[in-house]
Amino acid sequence: MPRFLIYCIVFIEGFCSLGAEIIALRRLLPHIGSSIVVTAPTIALFLLALALGYASGGRVATNYPAIVARNFLIAALLVACGLAGITVDWLFAHLQPTLIAYCVFIGGVLCPIAWLLGQTVPILTNLMKHERTGEASGTALYWSTLGSFLGSISLSLLVMQWLGVSAAVMICALGLLLGTLLLHGKKPYALAGSLAVAVLGIATNLQHDAVADTAYAEYIVGPVELAGQDNPRAFWVNKSTASLIDDSEPPNYTRYIKHLRRILLDELDFRDKDILVLGAGGFTLSHRETLNRYTYVDIDPAIREIAEKHFLKEAVHSEFIVDDARRFVASTTRRFDAVVVDVFSSHTAIPGHLVTREFWTDTRRTLKADGVLLINLILDGRLETPYARNMLASIESVYGRCAIEVLHKGKPLANVELTCFASSIAGPTQIYRDEKNPADLDLARSR
């Protein structure tokens, strides 16, 4: 086999194997989030399957091009159909608990792809007869790793951003089919199989009902049934209802947005104030609200156009900054009268770097001396879980005592609204006891 062809094949393998891993992590995001307890096992299992593929490929002794072509064709089928949005959504909708769906997805789709493609370099180095073993394997690994580098960069920063995740799936699948044809293009089964996989992959990926599917999130806008509302519609971000709106005058919004508006406009009587909103959602907090100035910060540059075109059906008259919320509050020199934190990556999951004491300290730095922090959380309605207790303790370790309001007390999961003030001070506390009870003295000092 010509040396150039071998390098092309291992480049395709590297590009598509790491591409499949990145796509898999992105497909998991709407269902189980992107925390370290999700990404670390996924990467580890992918690498384990890749290592097993290396060992399996090293034992192949004959029919080298035919075996690699077969592996590429099977891997292309798994990528095109197994990584399609409709497939992943079906798994997590019908296989419960979520851990079972995760294991089926990893064990039935991602790991087989890694195992099949991992055999490529050990098999094809057998065809590099006129080079030393170290030189042959080193050069092959160079081209494979170069493919992985370019695949990760181009798919995540270019393809997913501009064309969507489904386009990234098809690029990986078509790359593997190209490798199949380069190896065995003259064989009828390779031609027929490649054509069938391409058609099936295109048909499968066209079935996804998302309005947009970017590198950061899946967006869906659709009608919902809400009594007494005029054409209500929801804005779903990664399977989670981010916003609601209807065509009434004035429009109806989701309950927690109305609650935040009431705090800002009625209870705090904000007028001509600067309000920072971390997490754009559907931009409903400032919708047709002209009394104050709003600045939205969201990591996804596409979310504003999607909300304007498909959800609000009108322009957003607020400043929009594309940035990570943590990075923005850590670096900005601007100061705001209020900061609203409404950041979720999926369902009830907040990105881990946006729940720490250090993040809350940075949000306090962005507030004016008399500023207020409003936080929307989704926690258990009774605030009994370790996550709820520790989340509230982390916030109050910076801001002192905050006002806490549970909006749906009868539900297992509820919107929990916190109101914290920059002027508050976190201080020591003591327990009132019959033997030593300074309650009256404390009350007098508090007036």
What is the Cα 440 distance to its own chain's centre?
51
Two tokens, residue 174: 């078509």
- Report the pLDDT averaged over residues 294-300: 95
The answer to whether the peptide bond before residue 251 is cis (omega within 30 degrees of 0) is no
Q: Which residues in the chain are classed under CATH 3.40.50.150?
A: 218-421
Residue 391's pLDDT is what? 93
Which of 214, 262, 219 has the alpha carbon at shortest distance from 240? 219
pLDDT band at 208 (very low <50, low <70, confident <90, very high): low
pLDDT grade for 445, boundaries at 50, 70 and 90: confident
Per-residue confidence at 239, pLDDT binned at 50, 70, 90? Answer: confident
Residue 315 has pLDDT above 90, yes or no: yes
pLDDT tens readout for residues 132-191: 777 878 888 899 999 999 999 999 889 988 888 999 999 999 999 999 999 887 788 888
End-to-end Cα, the chain, rounded Å:
88
**Confidence band of 114 (pLDDT split at 50, 70, 90):** very high
Q: Where in the chain is the domain with CATH 1.20.1250?
A: 3-208
Q: Is the pLDDT of residue 272 over 90?
A: yes
DSSP symbol at 349: B
pLDDT of residue 418: 95
Q: What is the pLDDT of residue 346?
A: 64
User: Is the domain 3-208 a CATH 1.20.1250 member?
Assistant: yes
Residue 348: is its pLDDT beyond 70?
Answer: no
Q: Which pLDDT score, from 0 to 100, does residue 120 have?
A: 94
**Alpha-helix residue ranges (DSSP H) falling in 227-306:** 255-261, 303-306
Q: Is this model's pTM higher than 0.85 or not?
A: no
The CATH classification of domain 218-421, taken from the options 3.40.50.150, 3.40.50.2300, 2.30.110.10, 3.40.50.720 = 3.40.50.150
Give backbone dihedrals phi and psi of 437, rounded to 5 degrees, phi first.
-130, 90
- Find the mean pLDDT for residues 1-8: 87
Name beta bridge partners: 320: 296
* % of residues, the chain, pLDDT over 90: 64
Entry field: residues in the chain? 447
- Backbone dihedral region of 21: left (phi > 0), alpha (psi from -120 to 50 degrees) or beta? alpha
Q: How far apart are CA 383 and CA 441, in angstroms?
A: 30
Nearest to 71 by CA among 36, 113, 103: 113
Helix ranges (DSSP H) in 206-348: 255-261, 303-306, 325-331
